[in-house]
Amino acid sequence: MADRATIESLLGATVRQISPLHGGDLSEVTLVMLDDGTRVVAKTGPLVAAEARMLRAIDRAGAPAPKVLAVSGTLLILEYLAEAAASPSGWAALGHALATLHADEGQSYGWGEDYAFGQATLPNTYSDDWCQFWGARRLLAWPDKIPSDIAHRVERLVARLPDLLPPHPRPALLHGDLWAGNVLFTGTGAAFIDPACYYGHGEVDLAMLTLFGSPGPSFMDTYGPPESGWQDRRAIYQLWPALVHLRLFGGGYRSMVDRCLTAVGA
């Protein structure tokens, strides 16, 4: 659990209570009540400084995310946002927020530093070729860490990417791990949490958002119409998070990987 003394030192306030919050599988998240009744969120993990830089980038783009209050070592302190149930207005707010995020355009594909989901590294070295980035930095980031038969199928798919993906889509600022669990619906809209940002094809976020569920219909109304052919490309983009889950959580996700590969004839 987050260290009380460190929180007090960073915020210059007395901590009244610390209690666990639901979080991801790869970090610890706690709700901290300060002596004056203010609530903040404390998150611990080895890459919280990188996460703080991503949250600030999202904020600079004009998209909603919790404010970074302090970061030191393995501790990140964030603004507390009260969670509400997903609703049509919440999904509409998310569509607008994602369109705002994707309007932030980079010079090329990638990010200024690498990232990771636990043991699954995310190489982010910049590239001017999107197919090269997606193939080398994502689908084949660690072929020796997945079953060999799957790796061979992925390799064959990567060789076909120039025929399947646009070579130079607009480099949009991506959330990078956008599923419903990394969206915080609030009483006034929706905010992004737990990002894994880089610049890439905006369809990556759309594909991830539909991998484990389906956004409400009002989402696309405010996000705007996707590019022609996006549904044909979706399985290629969903393959990456499927591979991450296979790497981190084991064979239970093999069928998801297989479905993505089969959908694109690999």
Beta bridge partners of 40: 32, 79
**Per-residue model confidence as pLDDT tens digits over 60-105:** 999 999 999 999 999 999 999 999 999 999 999 999 999 999 999 9
pLDDT above 70 coverage of the chain, percent? 98
**Per-residue model confidence as pLDDT tens digits over 110-138:** 999 999 999 999 999 999 999 999 999 99
| pLDDT confidence of residue 25 | 59
Evaluate if residue 142 carries a pLDDT over 70: yes
| pLDDT confidence of residue 52 | 98
CA neighbor of 246 nearest in space, from 156, 128, 115, 154: 154
| pLDDT confidence of residue 245 | 96
**Per-residue model confidence as pLDDT tens digits over 223-252:** 999 999 999 999 999 999 999 999 999 999
Domains in the chain, please, with CATH? 4-79 (3.30.200.20), 88-263 (3.90.1200.10)
Confidence class for position 22, pLDDT limits 50, 70, 90: confident
Q: Write down the mean pLDDT value for the chain.
A: 95
- Active site residues per annotation: 177
| pLDDT confidence of residue 164 | 97
Evaluate if residue 1 carries a pLDDT over 70: no
At which residue do the structure tokens 């990002």 appear? 195
Confidence class for position 27, pLDDT limits 50, 70, 90: confident
CB 99 within 8 A of CB 227: no
Evaluate if residue 213 carries a pLDDT over 90: no
| pLDDT confidence of residue 24 | 56
Alpha-carbon distance of 22 to 28, in angstroms, equals 8
Q: Give DSSP secondary structure letters for the chain.
A: ---HHHHHHHHTS-EEEEEE----SSSEEEEEEETTS-EEEEEE-TTHHHHHHHHHHHHHTT---PPEEEEETTEEEEE--------HHHHHHHHHHHHHHHTSB-SSBB-SS-EEETTEEE----BS-HHHIIIIIIITS-GGGS-HHHHHHHHHHHHHHHHHS-SS---EEE-SS-SGGGEEEETTEEEE-S---EEE-THHHHHHHTTSS---HHHHHHH-PPPTTHHHHHHHHHHHHHHHHHHHH-GGGHHHHHHHHHHTT-
**Per-residue model confidence as pLDDT tens digits over 171-202:** 999 999 999 999 999 998 999 999 999 999 99
